[in-house]
Structure 1
Amino acid sequence: MKSRLKSSIYIFLTVFIIDQAVKYGFAHFNWDVQGSVMSLQLAYNYGVAFSMFSFLAHYLKYIQLGLVILGTLYLYKNQDVFKEYYFAIALLYAGGLSNILDRFTYGGVVDYFYWHYLFEFAIFNLADVIIDLAVVIIIYKQFKQGKKSNNKVCEN
């Protein structure tokens, strides 16, 4: 358990620091670049995914922080879940807490990836990609475990 905790802390810190450094660059050094398929363009998201709930802009940081605290309490009480999903959890916390820190620091989440080839997509950031990756890993592991339990049931 201790090695998984150490690994997850290392993963968390690495991803969190990289994400915050990139966001700082966009927020303070005008790193905007226009491309034909995708652009790097500073935008602030005051809501959640696709700017939903932007009317809660001031309160979202507290709501999200509360959810992180509840998730942490759940993981503390269910350490077997943490053991199984520590890598994905580290990614999820790094991306989530980085976006929450943006809300406290900049008033909104710093976004900068802007896809605009053939269709326009919401502007997003590295933390969003990391969160999505964590969710994909969790779903994959759940699917894999489900197949294993189905095979055991069929064998009996």
Structure 2
Amino acid sequence: MIYLIFTLGLVLDYFTKIWAIAVLKGQADIEVIEGFFTFSYLENRGAAFGIFQGRVLILAMVTIVVMGLLFFHYLREKNPSKLFIFSHGLILTGAFGNLIDRLRYGFVVDFISWHWKEAYYFPTFNMADIFVTIGTGLLIIYIFKEVD
């Protein structure tokens, strides 16, 4: 199951980023829901929320180490639950999707922008970021369930 999650997630991440490059790069933003949701091309040369700008090699190395540790954790689990598998699959998929971008382009392609009119803009993100965020949330739920 983890390999299916990984494969489908990578395909979705890859093609949405290819779409963003082809359609959004150098063009005006596409407003999907006025004052709330926009597709907007951004080359993120840092990590989440723009930290570590220009540190591609360091970010790539940290990503590889964390992915290795997470995969090792997955392999050590004798009878993994669906929640455990799904959380690890999503995190690994998102991390790998953004790693591919960093190594290929020197930046991560972000294109999803949530905002409240012109007053507040959440940092622009991509599908890989969504996978990591959901996977991390599910992993936290899994950990709390195991503690009980």
Q: Same fold (TM over 0.5)?
A: yes
Alignment of 1:71-82 (within 5 A): 71-76=70-75, 78-80=76-78
- Equivalent in 8, 13, 31 of residue 7 of structure 2: 13
* More helix as a share of residues: 1
Matched, 1:111 2:113: no
Alignment of 1:51-70 (within 5 A): 51-70=50-69
CA drift at 1:33: 0.7
Q: Secondary structure at the match of 2:122?
A: coil
The residue number in structure 2 matching 1:33 is: 30
CA drift at 1:89: 0.6
Deviations 1:22-51 (A, max 9, x none): 001111233741242121001011111111
Q: Partner letter of residue 29 of structure 1?
A: V
CA drift at 1:55: 4.0
Paired residue total: 139
TM-score between both structures, scaled by the size of structure 1: 0.79
Report the RMSD for the aligned CA atoms in angstroms: 1.9
Deviations 1:61-93 (A, max 9, x none): 2331232223333443x233x724111111111
Point out 4+ residue stretches in structure 1 off by more than 6 angstroms: none
Moved more, 34-43 or 16-25: 34-43
* More strand as a share of residues: 2
Moved more, 127-136 or 31-40: 31-40
State percent identity of aligned pairs.
24
The residue number in structure 1 matching 2:80 is: 83
Q: Secondary structure at the match of 2:123?
A: coil
Q: CA contact under 8 A between 2:24 and 2:39: conserved in structure 1?
A: no
Cα separation, 2, equivalents of 1:87 and 1:130: 10
The residue number in structure 2 matching 1:46 is: 45
TM-score between both structures, scaled by the size of structure 2: 0.83
